[in-house]
A = this chain, B = another copy of it.
């Protein structure tokens, strides 16, 4: 398959590029280093240096023999998007090209505007470019479980059959998110679902939970092929933040009561989910939606796990509840369905003490690089 990966320099974009090229696909990556630039501006550098995308493509080719084609530019700019799609005419598009940080999207008006414009204009251009240059291409869009929020009923897989006053209707599952970033992903869904129905596009929306890990079959132990490892409040998810805090001797910063529960998955599972979605494309005029997670934890459960594994590594880990800078429920019902990808053949890699220890050992190796000043700053939602 001829596959275009948008946002191919990203935390998931680059491992996906290696995984799909190792699976025998012809892979093209597109990026404009938006995430790297924002991270530099906000002093949110990754734990270890990550070679630029051209260098990684060369390193990967030297290691694997597989070539990956590159384009550099801004997909929110139609001229560039059109050039990429015209020159590649892909069979499938994996769309990761979004500003991915919830706290960054709440940092300032400029950050909010950038997130809104980048994410919406890029998604619109992907739709228009597919329509113009490759109308049968399958779009695999990375959504997020955060679109659903934390409703008091079960979260179904994308859709909800509603019974009301003796009649019924199947709706997109109602979405209500708790950051501007997550809200732009809801808006992406609105846009994709409209054009799926109107132009008979083929779209799969992968509603992904927080992903952890940097090791994949393709990286092996070669650190130069690892994806970004961010651990600060803006670009590090809670697993990374806690693991680094534990290694740095900083108390784990639990926001409020710590009952916030989410669905997590290992980066290896993300790669398999994306590949399974590509191998099982949506029909024309169909939006397939999968909830992409393998297990759920509360923040308190994660903190306990990091404390326990830290102890086994000789670390003295303490846990602190801090005032929650976000607006979110700290105790809530959470029961998301997630059978669709299992039915396609996903074999989950669960979070074990060994998996967490491997990650913490990597951090220990780079502990001198940890910038203590960025571990917690308390970006406020309101």
Asked if A128 lies at the interface with its beta carbon under 8 angstroms from chain B, I say yes
Asked if A124 lies at the interface with its beta carbon under 8 angstroms from chain B, I say yes
Q: Which of A126-142 contact B (CB under 8 A)?
A: 128, 132
Asked if A160 lies at the interface with its beta carbon under 8 angstroms from chain B, I say yes
Residues of chain B contacted by A171 (CB below 8 angstroms): 151, 174, 176
Of the candidate stretches A26-34, A191-199, A252-260, the one touching chain B is A191-199
Distance of A165 Cα from B171 Cα, bound (Å)? 16
Residues of chain B contacted by A117 (CB below 8 angstroms): 117, 121
Q: How far is the CB of A108 from chain B (nearest CB, A)?
A: 10
Q: Known: A164-B153, A327-B198. Is A174-B176 also a contact (CB below 8 A)?
A: no
Of the candidate stretches A85-93, A182-190, A209-217, A222-230, the one touching chain B is A182-190
Residues of chain B contacted by A177 (CB below 8 angstroms): 194
Partner of A162, one of B120, B162, B197: B162
Known: A78-B113, A153-B164. 7 other contacts (CB 8 A): A109-B132, A113-B128, A153-B167, A153-B168, A154-B165, A177-B194, A197-B327
Task: Give the 9 A-B CB pairs with smallest separation, nearest first.
Answer: A171-B174, A152-B169, A153-B164, A187-B187, A151-B169, A183-B194, A153-B167, A153-B169, A109-B128
Asked if A163 lies at the interface with its beta carbon under 8 angstroms from chain B, I say yes
Q: How far is the CB of A143 from chain B (nearest CB, A)?
A: 14
Distance of A109 Cα from B351 Cα, bound (Å)? 45
Asked if A360 lies at the interface with its beta carbon under 8 angstroms from chain B, I say no
- Which of under 10, 10 to 19, 20 to 34, or 35 or more describes the interface residues of A? 35 or more
Number of copies: 2
Residues of chain B contacted by A62 (CB below 8 angstroms): none
Minimal Cβ-Cβ distance residue in B for A177:
B194
Q: How far is the CB of A133 from chain B (nearest CB, A)?
A: 12
Whether A198 pairs with B113 at a CB distance below 8 angstroms is no
Asked if A200 lies at the interface with its beta carbon under 8 angstroms from chain B, I say yes
Residues of chain B contacted by A178 (CB below 8 angstroms): 198
Asked if A350 lies at the interface with its beta carbon under 8 angstroms from chain B, I say no
Q: How far is the CB of A151 from chain B (nearest CB, A)?
A: 4
Residues of chain B contacted by A239 (CB below 8 angstroms): none
Partner of A198, one of B116, B172, B381: B381
Residues of chain B contacted by A112 (CB below 8 angstroms): 124, 128
Minimal Cβ-Cβ distance residue in B for A172:
B174
Q: How far is the CB of A327 from chain B (nearest CB, A)?
A: 5
Residues of chain B contacted by A153 (CB below 8 angstroms): 162, 164-165, 167-169
Whether A160 pairs with B164 at a CB distance below 8 angstroms is yes
Residues of chain B contacted by A176 (CB below 8 angstroms): 171-172, 193
| 7 residue pairs A–B, Cβ–Cβ below 8 Å | A78-B113, A116-B120, A116-B121, A120-B120, A151-B169, A154-B167, A160-B174
Residues of chain B contacted by A154 (CB below 8 angstroms): 164-165, 167
